[in-house]
Amino acid sequence: MRTLILLLFGLVPILCRAELVELPVRPGVIATADYVAGDRAKPAVLLLHGFLQTREFPTVVALARSLQDAGYPTLAPTLSLGIPRRKQSLPCEGIHRHTMEEDVDEIAHWVKWLKARGNKTIVTFGHSFGSLQLLVYLQQVPEPAIKGYIAASLIEAQTGKVARAPLVADLESRVRSGQRALVTHPLSFCGKYVSTPAGLLSYARWDQPQTLAALKKAPVKKLLIMGDADPMLAPGWLKALAHIEVPVTVVKGANHFMDGMHEFDLVEQAIVFLDALKAPPR
């Protein structure tokens, strides 16, 4: 399989012209995505970028092109994060008013759009924090059309070295009392993430135990692809994933972005997984 993928990458790329899709997701907010119809006999893949990024993030672009070359329909949205037609990644120090609930709602809109285009079998494929957002969606919005979940470099919502329980309790108190003053706290790769209390709380709740519980409950076929040289992973995270008996492929030497030659490992594992799923007849 690896030899075949290497050969495909060495050939002249297949020209897949992506359709730019615009979709109203909330009043005054239009989200965008790139869509390639591909072979309708294959599952459609919804690709989601990492925290504060866009669909132009290199890992997502590489995955989309490889899957398109293999004939898979792909939809790569950019989460709006409250910004109409967002095109750029957001700085950590910017003011963030978006929430996990809004992210999940946008994912639901895109899944509905894929179904309306005749895609009967859908696989969600996330990178980094996008894997977590898709997992939250799978837990909260049951959708029979979704048959698979692939997570590359899955991480929980990391909140720095401060104990999480007091942070969550403080944020809950602020939300109950109607406080809207911005708070600054580490989140994911951001050392200083500026957000509303409700926004930060919506993400901070997703610690390791809640993420693991959601993985166990997700009613679809699953595959985690992780790198053992990923500096973003908390100590013991790979062992914790293996303990809940979810299929995990560990790529030796791969970092958080699965770049370089490890990109081939990521694509190979994904295609093996997707090939095992067959879309129903149209």
**Both 51 and 106 in a single domain?**
yes
Q: Are residues 144 and 72 in the same domain?
A: yes
47 in a structural domain:
yes
pLDDT at 281: 62
Our separate counts of H helices and E strands in the chain read 9, 11
CATH of residue 261: 3.40.50.1820
- Do 106 and 134 lie in one domain? The reply is yes
Is 248 found in the same domain as 121? yes
> Contact, 46 vs 60, CB < 8 A?
no
One domain, residues 28 and 129: yes
Q: Is residue 95 part of a domain?
A: no
Give residue 196's domain range: 157-205
Residue 109 identity:
H
Q: How many folded domains does the chain comprise? A: 2
- Are residues 35 and 79 located together in one domain of the fold? yes
Share of the chain above pLDDT 90, in %: 88
Say yes or no: 173 and 250 in one domain: no
Predicted pLDDT of residue 52: 98
Query: Are 196 and 224 found together in one domain?
Result: no
The verdict on 238 and 161 lying in the same domain is no
| CA–CA separation, 92 and 79 (whole Å) | 16
Determine the length of the chain: 282
Domain check: are 34 and 165 in the same one?
Answer: no
Confidence at residue 16, expressed as pLDDT on a 0 to 100 scale: 56
**pTM of the entire structure?**
0.92
| Per-residue pLDDT, 12 | 33
265 within some domain: yes
In a domain, 164, yes or no: yes
pLDDT of amino acid 128: 98
Domain shared by 197 and 70, yes or no:
no
What digits encode the pLDDT tens for the residues 137-158? 999 888 999 999 999 999 999 9
Q: How many CB atoms lie within 10 A of CB 69?
A: 18
Instruction: Report whether pLDDT(279) > 80.
Output: no
| Six-digit token string for 127 | 């990178």
Whether 41 maps to a domain, the answer reads yes
Question: What sign does the CA torsion over 238, 242, 247, 250 have?
Answer: positive
Q: Are residues 72 and 85 in the same domain?
A: yes
Does the structure show a pLDDT above 80 at 47?
yes
- Per the prediction, the chain carries an average pLDDT of 92
- Residue 247 has what pLDDT? 95
Please list, in sequence order, all residues whose beta carbon lies within 8 angstroms of the beta carbon of residue 164, skipping any fewer than 6 positions away: 204, 207
Residue 60 has pLDDT above 60, yes or no: yes
Q: Is residue 106, in this structure, part of any structural domain at all?
A: yes
- What's the pLDDT tens digit per position in 186-215? 999 999 999 999 999 999 999 999 999 999
Domain for residue 6, yes or no? Answer: no
Mean pLDDT, range 240-257, rounded to an integer: 94
Q: What number is the average pLDDT over the span 227-235?
A: 95
